Amino acid sequence: MEVNKNKVALVTGASRGIGKACAIELAGQGYDVVINYVSNDAKAKEVCAEIEKLGRKAIAVKADTSDLKAVQNMFREVWIEFGRIDVLVNNAGVVDDAYLLMINEDSLSRSLDINIKGYFHCAQQAALKMMKTGGKIINVSSVSSILAVEGQGVYSATKGAVNSMTATLAKELAPRHITVNAVAPGFIKTEMMDNIPEDKKSAYINAVPMGKFGSAKQVAEAVAALCSSAFDYMTGQVIVLDGGLSL
């Protein structure tokens, strides 16, 4: 296993789901971890406790990533605590499914603010801190960015934007030794999936050639791999983990 002792990773939206899995996986790889969250104090503290059991340091920082000042304050707090940041995992996001004629302005603005502006805010602040040392930025996208799913026009558009920003930022930041890549999961078994009716879950599974959902841990392992030296020469790429769904 690659030794990452004293390196620091910040994971947004890390109090549950894929973000939580990424935080724990990176801690297992030796990183100290910053848990960003927006509402659930108790869940964020639980993730910190799990990481500390692995022998790594963890802090929870509450910040709405769509708010630039909140993000600036978060990175300031990270710098005061650790004096460095080596990895940013842009994961915080929302899914507000709605067909075109049912989309409302509040939902549209919320999706654009968190899923796009939030990623830019965090990438910008991370890049400022990584300019002299280099680093890794991993954006969590979605298979919906390349696959049309009815009712996910807004979500798909935001994740398509994530793919585009990944490529552009990779080109801009490459001279600074900062790589920018993305992971695009398909149907992943998380708390969000638990709320979906069984008949709809069955339809989803039937659409996946592998015949099963992926796990948050599998996504986290892909993220951790992109953070390793094995992928130092890869940037601007989107890795799809969907069991063949998009084929």
Which residue, 127, 90, 95, 121, is CA-closest to 108?
A: 95
CB contact at 8 A, 168 and 180: no
55 pairs with which residues across the strands? none
Which residues are annotated as catalytic?
Answer: 155
What is the distance between the alpha carbons of residues 147 and 117, in angstroms, rounded to a whole number? Answer: 22
By the 8 A CB rule, do 36 and 67 touch?
no
Task: Give me the residue label for tokens 């601007």.
Answer: 236
- C-beta of residue 201 within 8 angstroms of C-beta of residue 192: no
DSSP per-residue codes, 163-204: HHHHHHHHHHHGGGTEEEEEEEE-SEESHHHHTS-HHHHHHH
